[in-house]
Amino acid sequence: MVQSCIDSASRLFQPSTDTFNVLESPRDDQIQEPPPEPIDVLVDIIIGCLEKGTAFMRAVGIRSFSLLSGVVKDTTINLILSVSVSTTGFSSILNNIHSNWNVGTLGNFLLTPTKKATRVMMGIWKAAAIATGCPPLGLRAAQVMSHKMRMRNSRASQKFPRQMGVSPWVKRLMKRLRGNSMMIR
Amino acid sequence: MRIYTLKKTIDNSLRARSDNQGIDARRSWIIEQFAALIRKGTIPKSDEWVQVILEWFIVHGTFTIKKKSQKSSISAVCIPPFPIKVWLSQLGTQIHSVPSPPYSDHLRRQCRERLLGCLADLTRLSIVTKMAEKAQRFTGIALDGQLWLSRVAEIIRKLEKDSKHVALLSELDEDDRGKLEQACGTVAWLRKVRPRFVLRVFSSEIFECQVSGDQREQADGVELLLQSFIIQFYIEDSSEGRDTASLEVRCLFSH
């Protein structure tokens, strides 16, 4: 775990890994498949921290996620959602996504119209579309978007009455995302 | 002076009853008091005394004191300067000598737990500083811009080198040691790549501050993670086992 954290740290801050590697860890055996995005690995570690459940690890995980949320990518959101699928149980999440509450909730967290926020929001829509599977991606995203607009208009939904199935730490991470996007403006 | 008053309280209470059980109970009470001081949000924090408490937790939780030193920069190991020492010894305190009886395992574990708890509190704690026009909020760092976690890790490593006066309770095996050194190396490297900005310097140019601040943030985030691992190497009981297995599975799982 520490090893992967170190690796991804050095990759995150050093885009051209070929030229110079401080930690001399070139792994020759995996040339074929591209390594995961460093931010994905880091967020993965953070999720591990949150699941561990000591107050210390949770505080560290949440804080470092809010610091790192500036570099979050589509795949990262994907990862967060997929982990939440595996932890909350398939049926409940399926339910959620079919009724679009989950997506609406996530989207609504990012109402501030910022460049970063829109980018991240697109990531969420895309991820949600992938998670639901069947319909083509664009159509699905459009559906989600229109649903989201509807949700914004209706009063009741703004209080998120039904947040079932979203595990607590996903909520926490999403809150951090929103906080960051507001801060950066 | 306030710090010494704190320590005086400790040692006074040690004097009050000499049987071991009484001492343990009092020490435990003191540990709780220290933790409460940091946890309580209404108490204004200054770096100085927060650091003293953290040092105290570190020294008593993860080290045994062999001999007190005149020159040590760590207050829990250091013999106070002359006038204060006289004042304290008139009170009959133990401040110039190694604590006896030594801390029990139970108390040490309590120290470690409270240290982690305090760090969690400090990581969540934000300080608001007034810049030129607007107030800016910083979370989890001391006034000089250093993360509290980094500071604690530094103190531990400094103490570890001072083998004449203190000894680490649990020796790390070679595997852990290697990982630890690598993590420390990465932290040092991160700081070189993304230089640290002192808080006060931030104020002048807003645009530049935001750009560099953004990059700095990410480096801080990674550093926070790494430092937490480093601290865990030292602090977590080997008997309890570091619960890394599940995390490793998770790492492999990511695509």
Number of domains chain B contains: 1
- Using CA atoms, how far residue A105 sits from A44, B5, B45, B110, in Å, is 22, 52, 37, 41
Output the pLDDT for position A87.
58
Instruction: Indicate yes or no: CB of A67 within 8 angstroms of CB of B224.
Output: yes
Name the average pLDDT for chain A: 59
Average pLDDT over residues A60-82: 82
Residues of B in contact with A51 (CB under 8 A): 246
C-alpha A103: how far from chain center: 12
Bond preceding residue A136 cis, omega within 30 of 0? no
CA distance B217 to B220: 5
Which band of pLDDT confidence, cut at 50, 70 and 90, is reported for residue A125? low
Helix/strand/coil for B155:
helix
Residues of B in contact with A22 (CB under 8 A): 185-186, 189
Those residues of chain B whose CB sits closer than 8 Å to some CB in chain A are: 116-117, 119-121, 123-124, 139-140, 149, 179, 182-183, 185-186, 189-190, 193-194, 210, 214, 217-222, 224-226, 228-229, 243-244, 246-248, 250-251, 253-255
Span between the terminal Cα atoms of chain B, in Å: 56
Instruction: Indicate yes or no: CB of B251 within 8 angstroms of CB of A48.
Output: yes
Beta bridge partners of B126: B139
Out of A3, A42, A58, name the one closest to residue B225 (CB): A42
* pLDDT tens, N- to C-terminus, chain B (255 residues): 566 666 666 665 555 555 677 788 888 998 999 899 888 888 888 888 888 888 888 888 888 888 777 777 777 777 766 667 666 666 655 556 677 777 888 888 888 889 999 999 888 887 776 666 666 677 777 777 778 888 888 888 888 888 778 888 777 788 888 888 888 888 888 777 665 544 433 444 433 333 355 666 777 788 888 888 888 888 875 444 444 444 444 444 443
Amino acid in position A6: I
Q: Percent of chain A having pLDDT more than 90?
A: 0
Q: What is the DSSP string of A110-131?
A: T-S--HHHHHHHHHHHHHHHHH
Instruction: Indicate yes or no: CB of A49 within 8 angstroms of CB of B183.
Output: no
Dihedral angle computed from the Cα positions of residues B192, B193, B197 and B201, in that order, rounded to the nearest 10 degrees = 110
- pLDDT at residue A177 is higher than 70: no
Residue A111 C-alpha, separation from nearest chain B C-alpha, in angstroms: 21
Output the pLDDT for position B7.
65
Lowest mean pLDDT among A81-95, A143-157, B190-204, B232-246: A143-157
Structural domain range at position B124: 2-253
Output the pLDDT for position A21.
45
**Total residues belonging to chain A:** 185
Output the pLDDT for position B96.
60
Instruction: Indicate yes or no: CB of A1 within 8 angstroms of CB of B218.
Output: no
Instruction: Indicate yes or no: CB of A10 within 8 angstroms of CB of B182.
Output: no
Strands (E), chain B: 63-65, 126-130, 135-139, 166-168
- pLDDT at residue A36 is higher than 80: no
pTM, full prediction: 0.66
Instruction: Indicate yes or no: CB of A64 within 8 angstroms of CB of B225.
Output: yes
Out of B225, B247, B253, name the one closest to residue A60 (CB): B225
Residues of B in contact with A57 (CB under 8 A): 228
Instruction: Indicate yes or no: CB of A67 within 8 angstroms of CB of B217.
Output: yes
Residue bearing tokens 């306030």: B2
Q: Percent of chain A having pLDDT more than 70?
A: 32
* Residue A31: how many other CB atoms lie within 10 Å: 7
